[in-house]
Amino acid sequence: MAAIHTGLTSQDVIDTALVLALRDLFDLFEARLAATADALGALGERLGGLRMTGVTRSQPALPVTFAARLAGWLAPFPDHFDRLEALRPLVLRLQFGGPVGDRPRDAVAVAMAAELGLAAPERAWHADRTALAEATGWMALIAGHLGKIGQDIATMALMGDIRVEGGGGSSAMPHKENPVQAELLIALARDAAHQQGAMLAALPHGMERDGAAWMAEWLALPRIAGACGRALAVAPGLLAALTPPGGADGPV
């Protein structure tokens, strides 16, 4: 193994591979974010004129239009895209520190970073995991945002303000149409939030390198990425399945 990465340590190779995977995830999630924003825009064109009861502090409030509620759902999207652009240079960096993280940025590091399309930092980030925690925080924010949309849709379906076509049926109560995809968004948001706590707990990497904290990341990071990715995959279809209370032909 030493002949494969002479002068480096396994963490250099594994962290660099992780960064390359995150680069692909960033591109995928950016495309899915755009698709979700487009789905919200299309939903507004279809059903924005619906009037429904506003809800504050879990109680009926004043009437609102669905367009106004959709505007609230759409509002965080520009910030999601801006945060991603800020994240890329922080995260997409070569790991090239050697056994104790003190290998300087040399010609080999610069050439390797260029070959991989990554930045070549001045020093290793073996024990500085803040950029990774920011990356998973961004994913958890998106999952949480989509979870809020799922929560709103589930409540709207309960109140009879909207119908979710193709929702899950009940084996015991055939009259029910459960908003399963909305519930999934809520569950994914909660799981991402819990796992982000684990990423923050792993930030105290001891000394030059810390195996226990590093392995804790291996448990949490894939869960957060999976929750975010799945939520982004589910959301556009859920939004497309929303119809007026009377069905697709109901009044708008």
> What is the C-alpha separation between 217 and 207, in angstroms, rounded?
17
Cβ neighbours of residue 57 closer than 8 Å, sequence gap 6 or more: none
CA-CA distances (angstroms) from residue 218 to 162, 191, 193, 211?
Answer: 40, 15, 16, 11
Cβ neighbours of residue 54 closer than 8 Å, sequence gap 6 or more: 60, 61, 62, 63, 64
Q: What is the 3-state secondary structure (H, E, C) of 141-188?
A: HHHHHHHHHHHHHHHHHHHCCCEECCCEECCCCCCCEECHHHHHHHHH
| Helix (H) / strand (E) containing 214 | helix 211-240
Neighbours of 229 (CB within 10 A): 18
Best CA proximity match to 98, nearest among 11, 17, 18, 14: 11
Q: What residues are annotated to the active site?
A: 170, 209
| Helix (H) / strand (E) containing 56 | strand 51-56
Long-range CB pairs of 72-75 (<8 Å, 24+ gap) are 73/40, 73/148, 73/149, 73/152, 74/37, 74/40, 74/41
CA-CA distances (angstroms) from residue 25 to 78, 201, 229?
Answer: 18, 23, 8
